[in-house]
Amino acid sequence: EAGVAQSPRYKIIEKRQSVAFWCNPISGHATLYWYQQILGQGPKLLIQFQNNGVVDDSQLPKDRFSAERLKGVDSTLKIQPAKLEDSAVYLCASSLGPGSWGGETQYFGPGTRLLVL
Amino acid sequence: KQEVTQIPAALSVPEGENLVLNCSFTDSAIYNLQWFRQDPGKGLTSLLLIQSSQREQTSGRLNASLDKSSGRSTLYIAASQPGDSATYLCAVRQGSSNTGKLIFGQGTTLQVKP
């Protein structure tokens, strides 16, 4: 079974530029998560999708971050404009979703490492 | 607001030693607690999950305990090996169902020396 795929793996941009990350979850997983992990910290949930609807985006800085999950499969996370403090690893995870046995177990992708100069 | 703290931040031990990683959380209203492993450049892998009604879970050389009332969990690694070198993260799931948010600690980076 293929895991969660993310691209690109690394990205270097200058502040005020825009950047987009892509995630392809495990086939059949209804729930998709984007996390931000700053160096030396644990992951922080940015946004959670159930199919193509947003369940929780309370910690997403909506003035500069946006995310979508069209057709309830792949997802993109965008930052525009980027700030120095956005330097972090952006992790995508997916799970079967509520109603399934073990549906809360999250499977993580390798992450995209972003450096903002 | 839930806060999860892990101590120590880093740990270096010789191969073969038994060790304990600590995790504490401020709000005992959790659904479950998970321990994850994170290798450099890779995502997180779930190691153990303890439901709020359970006291411990075991998998191979790993044993995790949970004391919900005191807001503490420990991950015990027996007979450590160089392959155990990684960052270990604990996370609590908020609320009363399996749809709650995961709140992570900052992790303990473990180095096991041959």
Q: Say which residues have a Cβ less than 8 Å from residue A43's Cβ, sequence separation at least 6.
A: A35, A36, A37, A91, B44, B89, B102, B104
Q: How far lies B4's CA from each of A27, A42, B71, B94, B104, in Å? A: 32, 9, 9, 11, 6
Nearest chain A CA: its distance from B42 CA (Å): 4
Set of chain B residues whose Cβ sits within 8 Å of the Cβ of A113:
41
- In tens, the pLDDT along A43-77 reads 999 999 998 899 999 999 999 999 999 888 999 99
Cβ of B99 within 8 Å of Cβ of A98? The answer is yes
- In tens, the pLDDT along A69-116 reads 988 899 999 999 999 999 999 999 999 887 666 667 889 999 999 999
Cβ of A105 within 8 Å of Cβ of B46? The answer is yes
Average pLDDT per consecutive 10 residues, chain B (114 residues; last block may be shorter): 94 96 95 93 90 93 95 97 97 84 95 96
Set of chain B residues whose Cβ sits within 8 Å of the Cβ of A111:
41-43
Cβ contacts below 8 Å, chain A against chain B, sum to 50
Residues 73-112 of A with CB under 8 A from B: 91, 93, 98, 103-111
Q: In what order do the strands lie in the sheet with A65-68?
A: A5-7, A19-24, A75-79, A65-68
Q: Which of A36, A107, A108 is best to mutate for the B interface (most B CBs within 10 A)?
A: A108
